Structure 1
Amino acid sequence: MKTTGTVFLIVLTLLVLAIPAQRTHAGVRKWKTYQKTQLFELVGSGAYFYVTGHMTIDADGAPDAYHPDNTGLDHLKHAGYPGTSWWKNVLVTDPKDPEKPYVVPDGPYQGYYLSMTSLRDMTKVPTDPSRYVDASRVPYLVFPSTFSRLKGVGALGDLGVAVNLDTGVYSPFIIADIGPEKHPLGEVSIQLAQRLGGGNVCPRVGPEKPLGEILYIVFPGSGDRFPWPGSEKHIDRIAEELLMSIGGTERVFVWIGRGSNLALSNSTNPDKT
């Protein structure tokens, strides 16, 4: 994959050499606005992008996300348990007692609650941890529920690429969870935050988040062509192909005028097959 990774880097370099957002360019136009975040459409490609400095961290799907003793990666209050009714949207219910969360009975994560993601492998039973997308291993993006209902923004399983505009570090991602109503854009999995430069990323203790603004490029409908489940390598490879498919020199992103001296760096290993 060395050649593919090199081409991917060249294409991304062309993207961040874009002209300021106040100007227009053929093939790019302002599209939608969500909570003051401007979305831009690449006309004719089906892809769009936006930039935001907001970031929150999602641990859902990680097998050690929540524990009855509140010692998991995330705080139980973020799962809504036990004080709310919406915890059943986050934690798997016990088949023997639907009013209690399911506790993993054995294995390396024995004793933990099992948390869910909206994207699932429907061939697996609800109490199988591999049914869900592991936030600690898979780079994923979360759509706020309100945003997910907007026409054309994409759906669970769609792919994209995120770029840290301060450091040049970038990573492919998959849309794997639907978050609360009216939340801003910018919620990501532990793994995606780590790939974008975050250190010691843990929503429980206050993550050391990637600093600065993040560019998100989304490819709506891509999940239909490359359906989940797949590995992290699957996400990386397909996202590279999708990005290259929108072109290079003739595709200029409309944007805020920063990045002309940005040296891009892939957070994955392009030489690894």
Structure 2
Amino acid sequence: MGVLVIEQWTQFAGLAVRRIDAGDGDSAGRAYAFVNPRPRITAQGAPDAYHPEDTGSGCLRDAGWPGPDWRQRLVADPYQPQRPLRQDAGGYPGYFVSTTALHDARFPRTSAAAYLDAGRVAYLALPQAWLAEDGAGAPGDFVVVHDRGSGRHSFGLIGDSGRDRAMGEVSERMASDLSGHRAEARSGRGAPAGPLLCVVFPGSRREPAWPLQTAVIRTRCQQLLRAFGGVAGLAPLAASVAGEE
């Protein structure tokens, strides 16, 4: 581990974003980080996320239905394009097909199996406007998120983006990792205590970026984090990024 250089990069959505450099000249030792004081949970991509009767694990209003913005988060029915597509097979018939920016190209875009299941995959969601910034990364890049309240952490990916995304929404699985309890977007149950340190490794995406086994994600995140002191270095890193040291 080299000497960590943490410097102010920019402000986005009211959050200070800082660049981190391990000072070893290796691109693997570079990242950026921010502290999210009010983490939100998303069910996006889960096959049971959104139901027309609003009985899914996520609130239907978060999908934009029946408003004008639902096409950002739901698949349109090919035969009735003015309405979202409903699943007719699998474990959740009748539920809408909820999308994520990162997807599995082996499946058609109309299949719920193409998208990251928020209940099973630890992912971070970032605003589209932020990912348009040079150096912000892209869906599929690796991330490590640390809950300063619980001291727990989660290894994952940038999994989703959108125009109306909050900076640093966490999937239900990532929220569960951080709180130690099963999380649900609708009720907020199992939400991480926060605030959350979000460390993003831009340019770390693999090809293909998805699917990846959980063990592969964990191993790669641990490798990337090693330059910053590993898991043990997350708490002091969070304090530094928050400007407390």
Interval of TM-score (by shorter of Structure 1 and Structure 2): 0.7 to 0.9
1:233 shift after superposition: 2.1
Deviation string, structure 1 residues 235-258 (Cα, Å, up to 9, x no partner): 112111111245669998433477
1:171 maps to 2:149: no
1:56 shift after superposition: 1.0
AA matched with 2:118: A
1:118 shift after superposition: 0.9
Q: Unpaired runs of 5+ in structure 1? A: 1-10, 12-24, 260-273
Aligned residue number for residue 27 of structure 1: 5
Deviation string, structure 1 residues 167-220 (Cα, Å, up to 9, x no partner): 211111100111334x54231101111110064522222334211311111100
Contact 1:57 1:207 in 2 (8 A): no
1:89 maps to 2:68: no
Contact 2:34 2:198 in 1 (8 A): yes
Tell me, in whole angstroms, the C-alpha distance in 1 between the residues paired with 2:75 and 2:59: 16
Contact 1:54 1:213 in 2 (8 A): yes
Return closer, same or farther for 1:159/1:48 CA change in 2, 3 Å cut-off.
same
Aligned residue number for residue 69 of structure 1: 53
Paired positions, count:
235
AA matched with 1:185: M
1:229 maps to 2:197: no
Paired residue for 2:41, among 50, 53, 57?
Answer: 57
Tell me, in whole angstroms, the C-alpha distance in 2 between the residues paired with 1:88 and 1:257: 39
Tell me, in whole angstroms, the C-alpha distance in 1 between the residues paired with 2:233 and 2:128: 34
Identity %: 35
Secondary structure in structure 1 of the residue aligned to 2:117:
coil
TM-score (norm 2): 0.85
Return closer, same or farther for 1:225/1:247 CA change in 2, 3 Å cut-off.
farther
1:159 maps to 2:133: no
Deviation string, structure 1 residues 93-113 (Cα, Å, up to 9, x no partner): 112221121111122111211
Larger relative contact order, structure 1 or 2 (CA cutoff 8 Å, min sep 6): 1
Secondary structure in structure 2 of the residue aligned to 1:142:
strand
Structure 1 stretches of 4+ moved >3 Å: 245-259
Aligned residue number for residue 163 of structure 2: 180
Aligned residue number for residue 79 of structure 1: 63
Return closer, same or farther for 1:73/1:184 CA change in 2, 3 Å cut-off.
closer
Tell me, in whole angstroms, the C-alpha distance in 1 between the residues paired with 2:4 and 2:125: 30
1:211 maps to 2:193: yes
Tell me, in whole angstroms, the C-alpha distance in 2 between the residues paired with 1:225 and 1:109: 30
Tell me, in whole angstroms, the C-alpha distance in 1 between the residues paired with 2:177 and 2:105: 27
Tell me, in whole angstroms, the C-alpha distance in 2 between the residues paired with 1:115 and 1:226: 21
Secondary structure in structure 1 of the residue aligned to 2:81:
strand
Aligned residue number for residue 226 of structure 2: 244
Deviation string, structure 1 residues 6-60 (Cα, Å, up to 9, x no partner): xxxxx8xxxxxxxxxxxxx762222222133222212353311121212111111
